Amino acid sequence: MKHVDYIVVGCGLAGIAFCERLYAHQKSFIVFDNASQQSSRVAAGLYNPVVLKRFTKVWNAKSQLELAMPKYKELEERLETTLNHNIPVYRRFTSIEEQNDWFTASDQPVLCDFLSTQIKSNSNPTINAEFGFGEVLHSGRINTTQLVKSYTDDLQKNNQYRHEAFQYDSLQIDEAEVSYKDLRSKYIVFAEGFGLKYNPFFSHLPLNGTKGEMLTIKAPELKMDFILKSSVFVVPLGHDLYWIGSTYEWDDKTHNTTEEAKQELIQKVQKVITCDFEVVDQVAGIRPTTKDRRPLVGVHSKYDQLFVLNGLGTRGVMISHYVAEQLFNFIENKLPLDEEIDINRFMD
């Protein structure tokens, strides 16, 4: 029987961020993941401190960025790969009124650090943007596909990864530890994304799940070196490839791609760019979303060894390290959780 400090279920953004806390504090752990949840693998990986539809600040944005950016740099160095692409987000304006709304928002103390007060004029003939752009500061993209792959490879190399579905009925909970097959552990952390809906210990939590479909297009004439936000995001990937996303579907919880979503994205991007392009890929994932747009973090109501780290929604790149640190300090240092992320907020 092998003994570890932690079993972590899930190797998406939440699971990786928590493993990084364990790694930093020299805790032993094993990760279980069967790649059944795709949201971290197919996401654009944007970090953007502003809700660009309404020109409002993302919850706790400054604290999240200050914690996350050094962590990604550490990961780049240890994994010997490039993850952070520090390119600006440009919000496309559709009218003079939107420009005025942007200026009003940029004067607010909570937003002045994140919104440039200079209107960017459009010099790209293949982009339809007669009213120009607003530039979001401190924004960019983490290559989440590369992050998950490199991190998984590193775990495998160190015999800390098991590519298999976690079988809940094989978990035995004792007074001080948990047992799972050939393992004994002090704690277990479930960071399964939308897979939490099938977890008998935490399936009661209000994790909604929102399906998103995304395209990759090839557009040799576009030559865009920034992230464009209009009715869709257009994200440069290199080699004339661009990520286009994404749709929002609340009823379909499958990873199947649909022609309807493809056509929706094509029609939206055609309103923004005027050059020819070819669709080269289409993917889908289920975002782990919650009704109050806050993560789900905490301990099981009956079993003190079972914890949840979930509900990161569309902003996992920014928020994952913040909530992982919150949970680690809650478990190891007995510090209280931020009330806005604590699952106890849903207790009657």
- For 79-92, the pLDDT digits (tens) are 999 999 999 999 99
Q: Is 155 exposed, middle or buried (0-12, 13-18, 19+ CB in 10 A)?
A: buried
Does residue 72 surpass a pLDDT of 80?
yes
Answer yes or no: is pLDDT of 148 > 70.
yes
pLDDT of 40 higher than 70: no
pLDDT of 73 = 97
Q: Which residues contact 154 (CB under 8 A, 6 or more apart)?
A: 78, 79
| Alpha-carbon gap, residue 180 to 249, rounded angstroms | 36
What pLDDT was estimated at residue 13? 95
Q: Distance between CA atoms of 247 and 254, rounded to whole angstroms?
A: 14
Please tell me which residue, 107 or 7, carries the higher pLDDT value.
7
Enter the pTM of the model. 0.93
Q: What are 174's two structure tokens?
A: 């004792």
Instruction: List CB contacts of 289: < 8 A, sequence separation 6 or more.
Output: 207, 208, 209, 210, 311, 313, 314
CATH superfamily of 88-138+210-287: D-Amino Acid Oxidase, subunit A, domain 2 (3.30.9.10)
pLDDT score, position 347: 82
Every domain of the chain and the residues it spans? 2-44+145-207+291-346, 88-138+210-287
pLDDT recorded at residue 55: 84
From residue 158, alpha-carbon distances to 13, 31, 153 in Å are: 19, 11, 9
Write down the pLDDT at residue 267.
97
Per residue in 111-140, pLDDT tens?
Answer: 888 999 999 999 999 999 999 999 999 999
According to the model, what pLDDT value does residue 56 have? 84
C-alpha to C-alpha distances, 154 to 19, 51, 150, nearest whole angstrom: 12, 34, 6
pLDDT score for 1: 85
Does the structure show a pLDDT above 80 at 38? no
> How large is the C-alpha radius of gyration of the chain?
21
**pLDDT at position 272:** 96
Q: What is the pLDDT of residues 289-341, one digit of tens each?
A: 998 989 999 999 999 999 999 999 888 999 999 999 999 999 999 999 999 99
- Does domain 2-44+145-207+291-346 sit in CATH 3.50.50.60? yes
**H-run or E-run covering 70:** helix 61-79
Calculate the average pLDDT of the chain: 94
Q: What is the pLDDT of residues 245-302, one digit of tens each?
A: 999 998 998 889 999 999 999 999 999 999 999 999 999 999 999 989 899 999 999 9
pLDDT exceeding 90 applies to what percent of the chain? 84
Helices (H), 225-315: 259-270
pLDDT at 41: 67
